[in-house]
């Protein structure tokens, strides 16, 4: 296989730069990068105008549901959704049944990922046994088996002493504790953001302080232990203020934001006539919060953009709003959402946006990052910036069709995904 992508925008997130040029791939290896590359023989030439090549897109926050909830998603279908979304690697959260809380479960994830054969999947182990928040898991065994971080995502470790021990212990392995920051006493039975909209709609709200109070606690515990803390799915400006303070003090904290918190607010839930596909945790917040999140992207206070891909069966969403499960199926819409609203609307550079979806998550998880360099395997995504498509949940590879973006027209879609020298997705089809 010989392929030349001519006159394309090349993004180098690790170097904070982008340039126009050609990229030549032969037998899965990048042979040459430069200007006006000449080739001979039978070669597939792709016009790169209005297209961009981005290396090693990584989603560090994905729920694959297997084992235990295979009717919602499997490692196989999640892998297909990931490569269709342009990702070359993902990290899966441990809120499965049984949870990923010992080395046998870590090994299970790797075995199933190898069998699926599409993408690198890195398991996140639990912080506590059975995700009960009472006793830390066997982190050492899981780390040696290949766990890349630890999280009880879907639940916050409410016991401060348990989290302190986890931060202390995990730093022995140089890995992060990924915290779902939520005071469950403040958020219990809540469905949407606490405030006027919740009152008008007759739904119990989740106040911002449920998140920010735990962000503050976790930051102080990270400072105490010198442990590595990563705050998942930040949703409000108050949490960002705490994270900004922590970073200025030199505390080891990183954070992420989701595309849906960047694009949607509580007003979208209100307009949607109680569409349960807008129900997420943390909830969609205010316009002020959304603007603060975009500012956090622009000034690099936010380190990572991650989907929090949370696929659900139709039965989990076709119920009253307060009874519906939290979550959005996000792998297949993340890139066009970020290009449409980040690049085109907010005028943020591609290198800044994609650094938060490639180099930064790989660095936080200590997983391989394969850059655009000569004589290395092609591990990149080709995105057509001019391609406009309407989101059609019926065409998702994911089992989860729970998206609030169905029917939206977005611009900038992945058209080809290389994973370690293999084309795994091309023009709407999974390649094996």
| Active-site residue identified among 153, 308, 316, 384 | 308
Who's near 139: CB < 8 A, 6+ residues apart? Answer: 125, 147, 150, 166, 169, 170, 173
Alpha-helical segments (H) within 146-275: 160-170, 184-187, 196-201, 208-225, 237-248, 259-263, 266-271
User: Angle at CA 65, nearest 5°, toward 334 and 92?
Assistant: 60
Half-sphere exposure of 314 (CA within 13 A, CB side): 2
What is the number of other CB atoms lying within 10 angstroms of the CB of residue 321? Answer: 17
Tokens of residue 144, six digits: 């040696």
H-helix or E-strand spanning residue 351? helix 350-355
Rounded CA gap, 57 and 63, in Å?
A: 17
User: Angle at CA 233, nearest 5°, toward 228 and 239?
Assistant: 75
308 classed as catalytic: yes
> What are the φ/ψ torsions at residue 50 (nearest 5 degrees)?
65, 20
Rounded CA gap, 302 and 418, in Å?
A: 27
Rounded CA gap, 184 and 340, in Å?
A: 34
Three-state SS annotation for 367-379? CCCCCCCCCCECC
Q: Which residues form the catalytic set?
A: 308
């Amino acid at each position: 296989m010989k392929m030349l992508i001519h006159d394309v925008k090349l993004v180098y997130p690790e170097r904070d730069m982008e340039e126009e040029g050609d990229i030549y791939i032969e037998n899965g290896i990048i042979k040459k990068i430069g200007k006006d590359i000449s080739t001979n023989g039978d070669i597939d030439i792709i016009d790169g105008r209005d297209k961009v090549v981005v290396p090693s897109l990584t989603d560090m926050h994905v729920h694959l549901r297997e084992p235990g909830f295979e009717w919602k998603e499997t490692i196989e279908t999640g892998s297909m959704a990931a490569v269709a979304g342009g990702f070359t690697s993902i990290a899966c959260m441990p809120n499965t049944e049984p949870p990923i809380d010992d080395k046998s479960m870590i090994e299970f994830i790797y075995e199933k990922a190898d069998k699926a054969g599409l993408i690198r999947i890195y398991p996140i182990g639990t912080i506590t046994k059975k995700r009960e928040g009472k006793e830390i898991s066997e982190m050492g065994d899981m780390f040696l088996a290949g766990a890349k971080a630890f999280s009880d995502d879907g639940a916050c470790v409410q016991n401060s002493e348990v989290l302190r021990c986890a931060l202390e212990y995990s730093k022995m392995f140089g890995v992060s504790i990924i915290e779902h920051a939520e005071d469950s006493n403040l958020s219990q039975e809540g469905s949407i953001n606490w405030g006027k909209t919740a009152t008008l709609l007759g739904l119990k709200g989740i106040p911002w302080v449920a998140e920010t109070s735990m962000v503050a606690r976790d930051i102080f515990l990270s400072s105490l232990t010198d442990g590595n803390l990563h705050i998942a799915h930040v949703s409000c400006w108050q949490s960002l203020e705490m994270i900004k303070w922590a970073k200025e003090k030199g505390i080891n904290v990183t954070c992420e934001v989701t595309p849906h918190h960047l694009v949607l607010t509580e007003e979208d839930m209100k307009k949607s006539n109680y569409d349960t596909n807008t129900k997420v945790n943390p909830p969609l917040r205010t316009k002020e919060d959304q603007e603060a999140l975009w500012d956090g992207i622009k000034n690099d206070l936010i380190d990572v953009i991650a989907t929090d891909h949370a696929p659900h069966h139709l039965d989990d969403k076709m119920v009253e709003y307060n009874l519906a499960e939290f979550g959005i199926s996000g792998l297949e819409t993340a890139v066009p959402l970020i290009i449409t609203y980040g690049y085109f609307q907010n005028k943020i550079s591609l290198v800044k946006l994609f650094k938060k979806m490639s180099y930064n998550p790989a660095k936080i998880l200590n997983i391989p990052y394969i850059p655009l360099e000569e004589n290395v395997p092609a591990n990149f995504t080709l995105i057509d910036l001019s391609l406009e498509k309407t989101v059609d949940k019926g065409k998702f590879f994911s089992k989860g069709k729970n998206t609030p973006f169905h029917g939206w027209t977005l611009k900038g879609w992945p058209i080809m995904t290389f994973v370690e020298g293999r084309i795994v997705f091309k023009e709407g089809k999974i390649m094996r």
